[in-house]
Amino acid sequence: MKSSLLLLFGLSLFAATSVVAQQAKKDAPKKAISLPAQQADVAAAKFDGKTGEIQAGFANAHKSFVAIAQKGEAQVVFIGDSITAGWNGQKALFEKEYGQYKAANFGIGGDQVQHVLWRVENGEFEGIKPKAVVLMIGTNNVGNPAHTPELIANGIKKIIAAIHQRSPNTKVLLLAVFPRAAKPTDAPRVKNEQVNAIIAKFDDGMKVHYFDIGAKFLTADGTLEKSVMPDLLHLNAASYQIEADAIRDKLAALVK
């Protein structure tokens, strides 16, 4: 009887210890996974450095955009990173300016060129043939030394080609990458301008229309002030109005 009780106690203690160990293992911080380097001109999804899987927010946004595309209603699609996604915080202005086009916003915060290329190649332009696409992407690549202006521009060129492969008659309003950082000589601003100098040549006057509105956000000496972009990167409400005013006529002409 005594030995049976001891055995039962031992088994219970082992089980309890196992549960504690499993919980501790579950609660332990996960080590970051070493992900393969991405190239600016090679399509790639956005991955989670802890799980190695596609980031949930990226995947969910992409899924919702694919669903919107499959409805085939949007005459205009905005696609890009957080600056494009920021239109979601300006719904009244977006509806006022672009509601007539049943415009769709395919912006995802943090996206780089390769991510937008992956999205276009994986369903975001299936079932939809918009009259115009407003494309701006590249500023999130500038911090990566391996992503040269040439590679960033080549990735943008591939995005345009991927759009036209799926919707040959769509006109692309290719916006110059907006200015960032306070001074014209700041490294991120310089690199963005190097990208812009290359992509400006993509304008063919027919299906691709390059448009640089960056100066509208700057003072006369090229300074970017926090009253325009509070973090010297992202737009505020007044800045979105500046963008809307700047592209209104150009976009209307492309949609005709």
Residues labelled catalytic: 82, 231, 234
For residue 228, the surrounding DSSP H or E stretch is none
Q: In the sheet that 208-211 helps form, which strands lie side by side, from edge to edge?
A: 104-107, 76-80, 132-136, 171-175, 208-211
Q: Which residues pair with 175 in a beta bridge?
A: 211
Q: Are strands 208-211 and 104-107 parallel, antiparallel or unpaired?
A: unpaired
Paired tokens of 252: 């209307």
H helices of the chain, in order, are 2-27, 56-71, 82-85, 91-98, 113-119, 149-166, 187-199, 237-255
The CA distance from 162 to 189, in Å, is 27
Q: Which among 78, 79, 93, 81 is positioned nearest to 233, based on CA atoms? A: 81
Distance between CA atoms of residues 239 and 109, nearest Å: 17
Q: Distance of alpha carbon 140 from its chain centroid, rounded?
A: 8
3-state secondary structure of 218: strand
CB 178 within 8 A of CB 217: yes
Element housing 74 (H / E): none
Alpha-carbon distances of 56 from 29, 117, 137, 163, rounded to whole Å: 19, 18, 21, 24
